[in-house]
Structure 1
Amino acid sequence: MPNPRTLLAIPLAVALIGLTSASAPPAGKPATDATLPLLVTRGKAPAAALLAREAPWSTTEPGAPAAQPDRQAAQRPLWHFAHVNQPTVDDTTPPADINPTPDTNPESDIATHTNAVSKTATGSPSNARNTDSDAETDNGAATRIRRTDHFRAGSITKTFIATVVLQLAAEHRLSLSDPVERHLPGLIRAKDSENDKSTNGLDGRTLTLRALLTHTSGLADYTSATKGLVPLTPSEAVRTALTLPTTAPGRWSYSNTNYVVLGMVIKQVTGRSYAAETARRIITPLRLSGTSFPGTRSTLPSPHGRAYTHQGRDVTALNPGVAGAAGELISTLTDLDRYYAALLAGRLLPAPQLRQMLNTRAAEGHYGMGLYPQKLPCGTTVWGHNGRIPGSYVRTAATRDGDRVLTFRVNTDEIADPTLERTLLTAEFCS
């Protein structure tokens, strides 16, 4: 006969089972579908979307060099798209307040304040898009995110830039140990006198490309002065950075200026702009048809939705010069998933350069070269990058082999509850 303690435990167990069942996604639905709506309730974004890709890189997909025999997939990739938005927002009015005081229990009214649509498809991205026709043709809200929408990818640009630099290193056209001075003479010179504060003590003759790639150069972030709102040429961005307080060279400190300088190095070494060289080496071979560097064009390619600051201001039109090689890129969910899958599967870099890209020792475990790791509660470590630029926040994460990739985005530049990013990645990679 059960003792009283056992009898008391039974109702508690039943309650816990019921709670687990209520919070779990319906059978057959990915765990991310239950988490995504939180980005527009607790996260206060106008809309959010994700696209997951699962399968080893296959010889049926574009990209070179040829895949290794043990990496060839028998199946075509599985793609899962989901989106959620605030349906009360119409086509002409930006959200009245997309970042109010957080609710005490925001999960309780997800069903009444969001409109989630989830689609899953196997096959090529183009085939999968055909299953999303309801989302593609719905004009009920300006904030609705469609699978084919173009958006600003922000600092995800850095992964592309790092890939090009590492390809050039593999071709022996540069070395990561090269000082900046070798490629850009006079750009960063030590001060000529005690009264000369033009470089804050930094010297391009000792500052290496490796330090730029790993954010250990000491260069200040020029966007701390511009707030990401003032378009600058690369030289202007560097000059602005050199007027700001530096960090100690050798210590990790994230700075957009590092990748602006790397963009200048790419042009000096190849004779082509970082945009043209990235297109030639990555975008065209992988057939990333929705990915581009807009230059000075302030508009987004079609199709696209609206983009808002976290105060609710429409910033869909934006001069990309605010970011340059540190964050100019425009892309799509499909293209980012495809790119990171190819990169981590070894389709873009030889093994030695890919190992360097993933080596975080110089940055104290924070950052590799254009990629950073994040360890999830289940013990899985994912690799990728985020991107924040006015009107857009994007995050891509992938397993080390590139077999599983998730990209999610919101059409604003800040998530009110930053813990939701980790929650969403955990739902994808720990389920």
Structure 2
Amino acid sequence: MQRVRRALATATVVLIMGSAGAAAATADGSGRAGPQQRLDEVVDHGSVGGLALVRTPHDAWRGTSGVSKLGSDRPVPGNSRFRAGSITKTFLATVVLQLTAEGKLGLEDSVESWLPGVVPGGEGITLRQLMNHTSGVPDYRPTIPLPPSQEFLDNRERTWTAAELIARAVTQPPTSDPPGKTFSYSNTNYLLLGQIVEKATGHSYAEEIERRLIRPLHLRDTTMPGTSVEIPGPHPHGYAPLVRDGESEMTLVDFTRMNPSLFGASGEIISTAPDLDAFFRALLGGRLLPAHLLKEMERPAVEGHAYGLGLAWRDTPCHVRVYGNDGDAVSYQSWSYVSADTRRGVTIALTPNHSANSDTAVGSYIDAAICGDR
């Protein structure tokens, strides 16, 4: 464990799987610092370690910064795997849209038609609204123990079922009435989509992601771990915050091993920077979906929110729009974006120390990576 002198109020900013969309931009993309120096600065801002991949039309750069484990001087492995959190949502959304193209699902299908009695008012909620977070179905996160509580850490190896988490979520009032009007990010939406994929195919959402995306794209270092607590292959250690009773200081606890059923269809995937970059290149390059469904994926859910059907985007200072997603799996944070023409991409993953919010620093990194070599 590592003692970090932070107040309880700071510790409580940690949220499972985060919110949709990229960090706000602050850099103009014209700085002279190279990708390694910028990565060092991002890690120094609030992480134990980090890694990045930056791809331009001319070449690709990969680097690491910080250490793999607190208390050691071992560098982060260059071929590290990490928990990619909500980037799972883009994989699952792609599968749902492939099933739509095959006529097995419809974007305007109701939740009730696939999962009778599971969601109150489900007859008025569509698959489209689940995918773009306008369903009004509440997030399950407020109903479970969260960092920095000891109870959260005590549950690290607990298996949560999607049905259990959904049942917890719907005890809360809806966040949009009627559905379709308000953007409200909810991990429960994707737990429901995972169950619907199983109903439509007879296979789990994880099996469909593996069969349709991971294997065809040769994403050899990407896995759907299910209930396995391990991260296979080389990886940095990740940490969760803990505040003990009667104390005001936060302690970092190794949270590398954990049961990802806590995230399930909304965020369980484990991957690498090259694999995520390859997935988003294939998606944006039109290799995974018909053009009209890719356009649907890119369409904003609600004006002012850079989020469509499981896909987020950001506009860089050099007027290049990039598409992708970000993920927060408590002890690992990641961002992966690719330009619409697929010629540029950036993926960054961090093991946060929970002393500061890295969104702004990462947003600047993404802008510089996309705009710096033009």
TM-score normalised according to structure 2 size: 0.81
Asked if the contact 1:252/1:364 (under 8 Å) is kept, the reply is no
C-alpha displacement at 1:364, in angstroms? 4.3
The superposition leaves residues 340-396 of structure 1 with CA deviations (integer Å, 9 ceiling, x where unpaired) of 111101111110110000001446433111111112222222111100012100001
Residue equivalent to 1:81: 62
Alignment of 1:162 onto 2:93: yes
165, 168, 181: which one pairs with 1:240?
A: 168
Matched, 1:356 2:364: no
Alignment counterpart, residue 420 of structure 1, candidates 326, 347, 361: 361
Deviations 1:73-124 (A, max 9, x none): xxxx832101111599434xxxxxxxxxxxxxxxxxxxxxxxxxxxxxxxxx
1:52-67 matches, cutoff 5 A: 52-55=54-57
> Is the 2:46–2:353 Cα contact (8 Å) retained in structure 1?
no
Is 1:381 matched with 2:299?
no
**Structure 1: which 4+ aligned runs deviate by more than 3 Å?**
86-91, 228-231, 361-365, 413-417
Shift of the 417–301 alpha-carbon distance from structure 1 to 2, 3 Å rule, reads closer
Larger CA deviation: 237-246 vs 350-359: 237-246
Give TM-score, length-normalised by structure 1.
Answer: 0.70
- The corresponding residue for 2:50 is 48
CA distance in 2, matches of 1:357, 1:403: 20
Alignment of 1:15-414 (within 5 A): 24-25=32-33, 31-41=34-44, 43-55=45-57, 78-86=59-67, 89-91=70-72, 140-141=73-74, 144-189=75-120, 203-226=121-144, 227=146, 229=152, 231-248=159-176, 249-250=179-180, 251-309=182-240, 311-362=251-302, 364-412=304-352, 414=354
Contact 1:286-1:339 within 8 A present in 2 as well: yes
Give SS of 1:84's match: strand
SS in 2 for 1:312: strand
CA distance in 2, matches of 1:365, 1:416: 21
Q: What letter matches 2:138 in structure 1? A: A
Structure 1: give runs of 5+ residues left out of the alignment: 1-22, 26-30, 56-76, 92-139, 190-202
The letter for the 2-side match of 1:420 is A
Decide which structure has the larger Cα Rg and report it.
Answer: 1
| DSSP 3-state at the match of 1:397 | strand
Shift of 1:318: 0.6
Residues 149-199 of structure 1, C-alpha deviations (whole Å, 9 max, x = no match): 11111000000000000000011111000001111112113xxxxxxxxxx
SS in 2 for 1:36: helix
User: How far is the alpha carbon of 1:305 from its aligned partner?
Assistant: 2.1
Q: Aligned-pair RMSD on alpha carbons? A: 1.9
Q: How many aligned positions are there?
A: 319
Deviations 1:306-354 (A, max 9, x none): 1112552110101001100000001111111111111101111110110
Displacement of 1:219: 0.8
Classify 1:180/1:303 alpha carbon distance in 2 versus 1 (closer, same or farther; 3 Å): same
Q: Name the SS of the counterpart of 2:253 in structure 1.
A: coil
Instruction: Tell me how far apart the structure 2 counterparts of residues 188 and 153 of structure 1 sit (CA, whole Å).
Output: 28
Structure with larger RCO (C-alpha < 8 A, sep 6+): 2
Could you say if the C-alpha distance between residues 377 and 401 of structure 1 is closer, same or farther in structure 2, counting changes exceeding 3 Å? same
Shift of 1:429: 1.1
1:50 CA displacement:
0.2
Please give the secondary structure, in 1, of the residue aligned with 2:193. helix
The letter for the 2-side match of 1:34 is: Q
> Gaps (5+ residues) in structure 2?
1-30, 242-250
TM-aligned CA distance change 1:363 to 1:288, over 3 Å: farther
> Could you tell me the percent identity over the aligned residues?
37
